[in-house]
Amino acid sequence: MKKQKHISIRIDEDILHKFHYVSKYNGRSASGQIMYLINQCIRDFEKEQGKIELKESAEN
């Protein structure tokens, strides 16, 4: 089973409130919205640049 990782960011309070608003509008938690955006970014990148091949032990 893949171990989930944790990420932390600094964010302006107004931006955070707006992000929560957008997340709720889209029917997602803030965490779910972030995962959606990350996955969309990866899909867009791979569509243009090709599939990203990872080594099994990659932890970056």
The answer for residues whose C-beta is within 8 angstroms of residue 33's C-beta and 6 or more apart is 19, 22, 23, 26
Q: Taking 90 as the threshold, does the pLDDT of residue 17 lie above it?
A: yes
Neighbours of 34 (CB within 10 A): 15
- Angle subtended by helix axes 30-49 and 13-25, to nearest 10: 80
Q: Taking 90 as the threshold, does the pLDDT of residue 59 lie above it?
A: no
pLDDT, average across residues 34-53:
98
pLDDT, average across residues 21-43:
98
pLDDT score for 23:
98
Strand ranges in 1-60 using DSSP code E only, listed in sequence order: none
Q: Taking 80 as the threshold, does the pLDDT of residue 12 lie above it?
A: yes
Structural domain boundaries in the chain: 13-48
Q: Taking 90 as the threshold, does the pLDDT of residue 20 lie above it?
A: yes
